[in-house]
């Protein structure tokens, strides 16, 4: 479900009003993400661990030049670099839940500094599918494009309202 630089992604993001009843059937995968440094022009360098796989990623900021380089790092390096991300972290459990119509909800249950925050992201195969989407009752307010819920903002700023 990672971004594919060669294609356009159609994704919508929502807050979650209550955990869906079948959550226990879809155990989450822990994701830890921490920012080492972010330049004024938006270049960001982060480390991430998911399911035992650790990576260091450098990403360009907004602008014409789009660069994203991901380097695999071992556990020792991850631990060493993770220590440098204090105060710039996001950690969460990601649950993937089938929604019907071949759609999958990526439900993120945040912990640490963002404990209590719940968001869900859904990727759509087409603009039509995106517009036709009827959210189940546990899905709340839409926050697509709301920068406050981006990983970088969450890592750097105080926790945004879980619902408002």
List residues with catalytic annotation. Answer: 35
Least gap, CB of 1 to a second copy (angstroms): 24
Interacting residues of 5 by C-beta distance below 8 A, sequence separation 6+: 66, 68
Question: What is the rounded distance in angstroms from the CA atom of residue 79 to the CA atom of residue 113?
Answer: 19
Angle at 85 between CA 111 and CA 30, to 5 degrees: 35
**Where does this chain bind a second copy (CB under 8 A)?**
35-39, 41, 43-45, 56, 58, 60, 65, 67, 69, 71, 73, 77, 80-81, 83-84, 87-88
Is the CB of 38 or the CB of 93 nearer to a second copy?
38
Q: How many C-beta neighbours within 10 Å does residue 24 have?
A: 9
Is the CB of 73 or the CB of 107 nearer to a second copy?
73
- The tokens of 80 are what? 């060493």
Is the CB of 69 or the CB of 163 nearer to a second copy?
69
Least gap, CB of 155 to a second copy (angstroms): 11
- Count of residues making up the chain: 164
Least gap, CB of 86 to a second copy (angstroms): 8
């Amino acid at each position: 479900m990672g971004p594919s630089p060669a294609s356009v992604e159609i994704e919508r993001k929502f807050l979650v009003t209550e955990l869906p009843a079948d959550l226990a059937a879809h155990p989450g995968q822990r994701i830890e993400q921490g920012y080492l440094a972010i330049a004024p022009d938006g270049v960001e360098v982060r480390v991430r661990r998911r399911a035992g796989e650790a990576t260091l990623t450098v990403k360009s900021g907004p602008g014409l030049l789009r660069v994203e380089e991901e380097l695999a790092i071992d556990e020792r390096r991850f631990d060493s670099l993770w220590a440098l991300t204090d105060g710039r972290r996001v950690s969460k459990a990601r649950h993937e839940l089938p929604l019907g119509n071949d759609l999958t909800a990526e439900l993120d249950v945040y912990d640490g500094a963002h404990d209590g925050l719940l968001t869900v992201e859904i990727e759509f195969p087409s603009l039509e599918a995106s517009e036709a989407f009827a959210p189940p009752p546990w899905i709340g307010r839409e926050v697509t494009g709301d920068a406050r819920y981006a990983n970088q903002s969450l890592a750097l700023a105080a926790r945004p309202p879980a619902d408002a």
